[in-house]
Amino acid sequence: MKIITAEQAAALVQDRWMMTIGGFGHCGSPEALLGALERRFLNHGSPRALSMIFASGAGDRASKGINRLAHEGLLSTIIGGFWSLAPRLGEMVRDNQIHAYNWPQGVVSHMYRAIAGGLPGVITTVGLGTFIEPRLGGGRLNKKTTDDRIDLIEVDGSNFLLYKAPRLDCALLRGTTADNSGNVTLEKEASFQDVLAQAQAVKNSGGIVIVQVQDLVADGHLNPQAVKIPGVLVDYVVLAAPEQHWQTYGEQFNASYCGIQNKGEPLVHADLPQGARRIIARRAILELLRHTKLRRTEQPLLVNLGIGIPESIAAVAERSGLLGQGFVFSVESGAIGGYPAGGNSFGAMANPQAILNQAELFDFYNGGGIDIAFLGFGEIDRNCRINVSGLGNRINGVGGFVNISQAAKQLIFCGTFTASGLKVSYNEGDGLQIETEGKIRKIVEKVSQICYDPNGQARCRAALLITERAVFKIHRHYLEIIELAPGCTLARDIIPHIDIEIAVNKQLQPMPTEAFSDASLAQLFKHRTFKTFKKAA
């Protein structure tokens, strides 16, 4: 192992290499390495035509993280899970400047292990029935992208997808501390992501592994049980300046994200959502409390929260004193327990009970380990298929959505009824008032990309859709409204703003007042009896 500068590390990268980049969401980006690679290209025009694979692309929605590589000529091909934090790459995809594929985040995470083990790829049912399977688009994101990287295969009479393994030339990763032999620990990182599997995959492909750290120590000073990347896998270590090694894009360091502070109050309280987001989050919490009350064992429910409005659920739960009340949150990055951070710290978990490798958590997710998942939705159509990936000119990528929506025992989709400009207000006398309607309809005739299909691989057959003005039950072939916000009417606030016919429950109920008020949800949890819903047909 050699200790080198970020500029020396960037000089090692050759034209047409396939790279894997560390990081998850707003956490763990090897910023010093990516910045040096960007500067080398801008100053010298090389390297060129790189390919890249990532599970959850680290970025700040602007210029940092993998956004630094968004220069014409620098990149040729990308395989990515979650793209939303890298809008500059999305622009290149829309302009047909690069070849681009969207794979489920859990598949990419498992792909590193497959490559490390010398396997031809990942064989799974994850993605069947979505735009990722070959018959429905193969995960290709633009017209420039024509090659098939996914095969539909049959095993014992059942359909599976074979995601074909690429050969990896280089890994740009990040840790906290390295010793003189290249052993790396991650004690101050918010997550472990897939750093071990990425390093193993690259080494077994004949490539080089470069790790950015913030501290160097002599051999013998690291606890071997804390080492996440053994030195035999590491070729080069780069010592990063503090300003290039923030724990998240929102916070330079938060001790509650890595277990250094793990008792009592978190260092930073979550910001409470407002407006429509607040209503949706509180109604979703009521649903979570209902499932918690009705669980059949004392074992807490394992809950997953998606990005976007579902993030607000964690904030409401934390500020309401509900954490640990019969449920624990989990984040795909590998953290379990505590409350998921939002904003520019998405991907971190405050006061986690445990932090696993990302692939290990997706093993459990894929097998049905999530008791209830709260996911966002971009649009839903006549057949109750949901799109979260490609919306207008945005390329979000499916992230972990496909893995989770196909395997979770219960699904709650959360989002505003319309998008772009929606403003609402509430008072006890008039109920919910739509002050400004959103410009974009979200209940449409046909979604542009299928990310979830209740008639496909989904385990859950009783999903709900929660908006600020109504709650819907998702059936296999139709959408049914079961609750309506006080102050709203079907004729004024629902029917004119959707493109399809919906069923109206014969016993249409008002949305609970607790979703709109400031009533204590903790007290509600103690005293309220929750009803059950019949399963969808």
Catalytic site positions: 332
Q: Where are the alpha helices (DSSP H) in 295-434?
A: 309-319, 358-366, 401-407
Is the CA virtual torsion 100, 104, 107, 112 positive or negative? positive
Tokens of 402: 């496909």
Beta strand 158-164 pairing with 184-185: unpaired
Beta strands in 407-515 (DSSP E): 410-414, 418-419, 423-427, 431-436, 440-441, 463-466, 470-474, 479-484, 503-510
Q: Collapsing DSSP states into helix, strand and coil, what is residue 47? A: coil
Q: Vertex 282, ends 529 and 272: CA angle to 5°?
A: 140
DSSP state of 465: E
Closest Cα partner for 109 from 24, 186, 215? 24
Instruction: Give the amino acid at 99.
Output: H
Q: Where do we find the tokens 């018959």?
A: 135
Residue/partner pairs of 60-65 with CB below 8 Å, 24 or more apart: 60/26, 60/85, 60/249, 60/344, 61/85, 61/86, 61/87, 62/87, 63/88, 64/29, 64/31, 64/34, 64/249, 65/23, 65/29, 65/31, 65/34, 65/249
Other C-beta atoms closer than 10 Å to the C-beta of 402 total: 29
Closest Cα partner for 51 from 203, 208, 167, 198? 167
Measured between alpha carbons, how far is 270 from 263 in angstroms, rounded to an integer?
16
DSSP state of 348: B
Beta strands in 214-285 (DSSP E): 215-217, 227-229, 236-239
Burial of 156 (0-12, 13-18, 19+ CB in 10 A): exposed
Sorted by sequence, the CB contacts under 8 Å of residue 409 that are 6+ apart come out as 368, 370, 371, 372, 459, 460
Sorted by sequence, the CB contacts under 8 Å of residue 404 that are 6+ apart come out as 304, 306, 332, 365, 370, 373, 375
Closest Cα partner for 99 from 72, 74, 76? 76
Backbone angles phi, psi at 340, to 5 degrees: -70, 135
Helix (H), strand (E) at residue 350: strand 349-350
Measured between alpha carbons, how far is 96 from 143 in angstroms, rounded to an integer?
7
Measured between alpha carbons, how far is 359 from 524 in angstroms, rounded to an integer?
37
Measured between alpha carbons, how far is 181 from 219 in angstroms, rounded to an integer?
7
Measured between alpha carbons, how far is 159 from 317 in angstroms, rounded to an integer?
40
